Each structure stands twice: as C-alpha cells, then as structure tokens.
Amino acid sequence: MKLISFIISVLDEQETLGILCDEIRQNIPDGFDYNIIFIDDGSKDASFARMCELAGQDKKVQVIKFQRNFGKAAAIQKGFDIAKGDVVITMDADLQDNPKEIKNFLQKLDEGYDMASGWKKKRFDPLGKTLPSKLFNFVVSRFFGMRLHDYNCGFKAYKKKVVKNLNIYGEMHRYIPVLAKSLGFSCGEVIVEHRKREHGKSKYGFERYLRGFLDFLTIRVITKYKRSPIYFFGGIGFLLTLAGVGICLYLVYIKYFLVEGISGRPLLMLGVLLSVIGVQFISIGLICELMVYLKGGKSDGVVVDKFINFED
C-alpha cells in the first residue's frame, strides 16, 4: 500500500485544522494510506494546541512547532525532510484548497509526471492579489520557459524522489516547479477548485513581492549557473573589463596621438573603475569555482534516476 504524506504549513488557522483533517481522510483513494504533517510556523493563536489535540486523536497526524515564524518555504522544506510518503502533497491550511482534488493529482502523477502543480483557474481572491499574481506567472513562465498558469498555488503533488532532491528557503516555494525542472523532473498541471476563505485572513503583505523578486534573481542564478558560477560572474566581469580597457585605450589615443590632456576627464576614472570591478567579478567567479570543486565537483545538484550494474 502506497503512502501519501500531506505537508501543511500553519500560521494562525485554529478554526480550520479539524475540518481539513476530516476532509483529507474522506478523500484518501483506495490502495493508499496517509499521514499528515502539520508545521506550526510561529502561530500566535491556539493552532498548536489544536494540532496537538488532532495528533492525540489520530496517530497518523504529526506536529512540528517552529520557535518563531520562519516562512512558508522553511516549513515546506522541513516537511520534505521528514516525509516518508511515496507521494507528497502540499496544501494550505485555510481550506481554500479542496482535498477532493487529491485523486486528480494522483492521476496526473500516474501519467508519468514527477510532480503536479495546481492551477486556481477561478479564484476568489481580491483584485490586489489576483493581478500581481497574473503578472508574476506571466513573467516567470516566459523567463524560465516553463508554461504554468499558477506558480503561486500551494496545492502540489510530488513523487518522493523530487522532494528529497529539493532545497528551498526564503520565498522559493513559489519557484519549486522551476527548481524541479532544473534537476530534470517533469511537471504537469491540474486545474483545482479554489474555495472562498471562510476563516481568518491572508498572511501575505506587499513585502512578499520584493522578497519574491529577489528570490527570482536567486533562482535564475542557481538554476543556470550553480555548477559553473564562472560563467555568470566571469561573463559580467569580462564585459566590464572590456569596457574599461576600451575606454583607457581611447584615452591613450587622445593623449599620445591627439596630444590632449586626460588627467581631468571623468572618463579616465570610469575606465579605471570598470577595469577594477571587472577583475573583481572574474576573481569572485574563480573563487566560486574553487568552492564548487572543494564541495564535490560538478556533480553537485545532479539527480541520478537509475543505476544499472551488469555483473559478470
């Protein structure tokens, strides 16, 4: 019998937890067992007490309590670390994700995908959330070449091999499909029902957009240049050095061929500055390459799917 591990990050959702557990139990398909992993991400209400009560009633419920609020990505990663399920499903605790969709996620994985991401095609969120989300999804899809409609949807299903090879932090939970793709995993999409929030309120403010943008840059670097950082830093350094040297050569031409003074020209300072910064970028790239080599070489971040040994 296959096991499904549900990872649910909780922040001040005391009213919904019991209902969510009941709905999950009611929608476990035949042939599957389950366990529910609640991560209390610094709740200030009675959520932790309620989770402990549920764990006392059902041995398949596990509870982890963070010392303070570390964020959704940290909670999901902790769940990934301890999950033992053949399939891992992440859900929000606010009841906006409908457990009736579990069977559809499992079906998508049975089609051969390594993970399945939910798409809240019809949303019941205010315009202040839906418009930035649409812009975010458009930019990420075009930039990373992965056409998903809803990166922000927390309702996702993974095969075990995916979660055991992911390492997320900050606000990177939004970019899990991109990270999975960079490791060679495939991702399907499932249209899911999005229910209105009946209890509590949204925990996300405007600051998440700034953090999300900074993580966007981080994801770009680690997915494309993680194993060869010299290509990133060295490329920038080469262009800056080339520009700086070009400016300096131009000033040499002015001084010795046109016999004009250059000491008071701002262009001289710019040329020297670009050259120095360019060399520094190249040096950073070489240091990063050395760190990658000492850490384990170019195989870091490579996922082995199968190993076949033909013995004599």
One pLDDT digit (tens) per residue for the chain, 312 residues: 899 999 999 999 999 999 999 999 999 999 999 999 999 999 999 999 999 999 999 999 999 999 999 989 999 999 999 999 999 999 999 999 999 999 999 999 999 999 999 999 887 777 767 787 788 888 888 888 888 899 889 999 999 999 999 988 877 898 999 999 989 999 999 999 988 877 656 655 556 666 767 777 788 777 777 667 888 888 899 999 999 999 999 999 988 888 788 877 889 899 999 999 999 999 998 888 777 667 655 445 666 666 555 554
pLDDT at residue 299 in the model: 47
Task: Give Cα separations from 32 to 29, 103, 243 (angstroms).
Answer: 6, 11, 62
The pair of three-digit structure tokens given for residue 224, joined into one six-digit string: 């494309």
Distance CA 238, CA 88 (A): 44
Sign of the dihedral through C-alpha 284, 290, 294, 300: positive
Task: Select from 191, 24, 34 the least CA-distant residue to 99.
Answer: 24
pLDDT at residue 195 in the model: 84
Instruction: Express the helix, strand and coil content of the chain in percent, nearest 5 each.
Output: 50, 15, 35
Written as one string, the DSSP assignment of 116-143 is: EEEE-SS--S-HHHHHHHHHHHHHHHHH
Distance CA 269, CA 243 (A): 13
